[in-house]
Structure 1
Amino acid sequence: MLKIGLTGPYSPNMKAAFYDALPDGFDVVEIPTVEDYGALEDVDFVVLRTLKFDNATINRCKQLKMIQKYAVGYETIDIGAAAARNIPVVNCTGVNTVSVAEMAVLQMLAVLRNLLPLNRRLCAHQWAKDEFVQCSYTLKGKTVGIIGLGSIGRHVAQLLRAFGATVLYYDMFRQSEQTEQELGVTFFPFEELLPRVDLLTLHAPSTPETINLIDREALSKMKRGAILINTARGNLVNEEALIEALQSGQLGGAGLDVFSSEPPAADSPLLHLENVVATPHVGGSTAGNDSNMMRQCAGNIVKFCERKPILKRNIVNLSMLSDPLPIEYQ
């Protein structure tokens, strides 16, 4: 019987969805913390959510055939160490596209319209009807820059166009002219994009090339008063530089669903600045989405065992695997 390490933590609903999606023939061992990693030594598959999976951990799993990542981000996994043993690392790209894209737009609107300070005033019995009029704006007519035009970035672009915004983008891999026309987006190199936008929203993965992508230099090139939105990964932004830009007025505001350390320290200015909307990494957390993610995790494992193809976009270390590949893809 094949053994799966359900490496957590996971909610009861998430676990129920995973078990329901698995056919007979699998034994599941639940591993909620790194202290329980000793139980991984004889697993054939790992489903990983938030815990780290480094080189040493991968090598202690002698029978490991595939690592299935819950959600999209895989920065906690040593994908090179996995590839050295010809172990594919598979994620769930696409499942949380709509949820995260809508969260990004929600953050934009909340910052532009000063939603949180208005709410705080009202809850303190202050009728601040006119206090923020001169610094409240619509998305219509704004120029928004998207960093990373994957599935989430594309959906954000579609939503923004519906609001009447002009959408620019930067991605390491430029889209085809046809795709750009269909989405209504215009490509600019990173350095040229920054000074053109009123809002900048991040939808890139965490890689050596993108860590601290938004640093002091990048922030200094943006329009004074521009807004930064990050629903991707906290380490894309240098938080010290971000705080300085927010406090100085170089940035007019920020919407943050992710942080370099999660949860952030209680005394972080990012939790107390009035021009910041902060949420606890819940962009993909909508009713039913967690269960859908778990069903895809189970489904990919079953596909691997049945030699049925897995979507190419979901195999994050595909180019690093040996020939012949241990996995079918399409």
Structure 2
Amino acid sequence: GKTLGIWGYGRIGQLVAGYGRAFGMNVRVWGRDASRAQALTDGYQAATNREEFFSQCDVLSLHLRLNDETRGIISLEDLSCMKPTALLVNTSRAELIEPDALLAALNRGRPGLAAVDVFESEPILQGHALLRLENCICTPHIGYVEQDSYELYFGAAFDNVVNYIKGTPTNIVNPGALQVRR
């Protein structure tokens, strides 16, 4: 089967690893020593080095927090190690990848494909270069939402507004705030 690479084996990374296993994928993890050790304990593979991780994954999914240590942690050199048939998925934070590195890598054909749900500036501007690429799928930071959930969340919000206007507010977190007169 195909190899799913996961960089960042926290709560979400572990969940994605389970999905990969359910689809018959070989799951390979990269990250801190503790993350790789946990992945081995959970029955997954741990990459021995960064270059191997990038070069062997058919799908590589990022699940890292953004902080000073992880900002720009993925370079054009890393992306250039990926297969021309590989897919990079970033639903984590755009700033994990060096500025313009993903665009350059996709234009060079390594990785061959990308699916991104996060951008350095959101919402993504209409003329953004990634939107013009045929090998990149971009979603506006809502890739996790499926239609039923979307309708449920926004339906509940709409109901709350309507009920408030009618004078029968619902789902009040701080009832004391309703007592304040303006």
Pairwise TM-score range, normalised by the shorter structure: 0.7 to 0.9
**Residue of structure 1 aligned with 2:126, choices 266, 274, 297:** 266
Kindly tell me: are residues 198 and 176 of structure 1, through their superposed partners in 2, closer, same or farther at Cα, counting changes over 3 Å? closer
What does 1:146-157 correspond to in 2, within 5 Å? 146-157=6-17
Describe how 1:104-253 pairs up with structure 2 within 5 A: 141-175=1-35, 180-182=40-42, 184-188=43-47, 189-253=49-113
Normalized against structure 2, the TM-score is what? 0.73
Question: After TM superposition, where is structure 1 displaced by more than 3 Å over at least 4 residues in a row?
Answer: 175-179, 283-286, 288-291
Question: Could you tell me how far apart the structure 1 residues matched to 2:101 and 2:7 are?
Answer: 18
**How far did residue 175 of structure 1 move?**
3.9
Query: What displacement does 1:156 show?
Result: 0.3
- CA distance in structure 1 between the partners assigned to 2:70 and 2:38 by the alignment: 27
What whole-Å deviation, never above 9, does each CA across 1:273-330 have from its counterpart, x for those lacking one? 1111111111444626798xxxxxx7xxxxxxxxxxxxxxxxxxxxxxxxxxxxxxxx
The residue matched to 2:112 in structure 1 has which SS? strand
- Root mean square deviation of aligned Cα: 2.3
- In 2, distance between residues paired with 1:179 and 1:152? 13
| 1:197-222 CA distance string (max 9 Å, x none) | 11211000001121112221111222
Corresponding letter in the other structure for 1:245: A
Q: In structure 2, how many angstroms separate the alpha carbons of the residues matched to 1:171 and 1:177?
A: 10
User: Shift of residue 174 of structure 1?
Assistant: 2.3
Which segments of 5 or more consecutive residues in structure 2 lack a partner in the other structure? 157-172, 174-182
- Say if 1:163 and 1:191 are closer, same or farther in 2 by CA, change over 3 A: same
CA distance in 2, matches of 1:187, 1:249: 26
Larger RCO, structure (CA 8 Å, separation 6 or more)? 1
Q: Is the contact made by 1:174 and 1:187 (CA closer than 8 Å) also made in structure 2?
A: no
Residue type at the aligned position of 2:45: T
Amino acid at match of 1:217: E
Greater C-alpha Rg: 1
Go from structure 1 to structure 2 and tell me whether the alpha carbon gap of 1:262 and 1:191 turns closer, same or farther (over 3 Å shift): same
- Shift in CA distance, 191/263, structure 1 to aligned 2, threshold 3 Å: same
* Residues 291-310 of structure 1: pairs in structure 2 closer than 5 A: none
User: What residue is the counterpart of 1:282 in the other structure?
Assistant: 142
Secondary structure of the residue that 1:246 maps to in structure 2? Answer: helix
Gaps of 5+ in 1: 1-140, 292-297, 299-330
1: CA distance, partners of 2:38 / 2:57: 23
The number of residue pairs the alignment matches comes to 151
Assess, with a 3 A threshold, how the Cα gap between structure 1 residues 193 and 289 changes in structure 2: closer, same or farther. Answer: farther
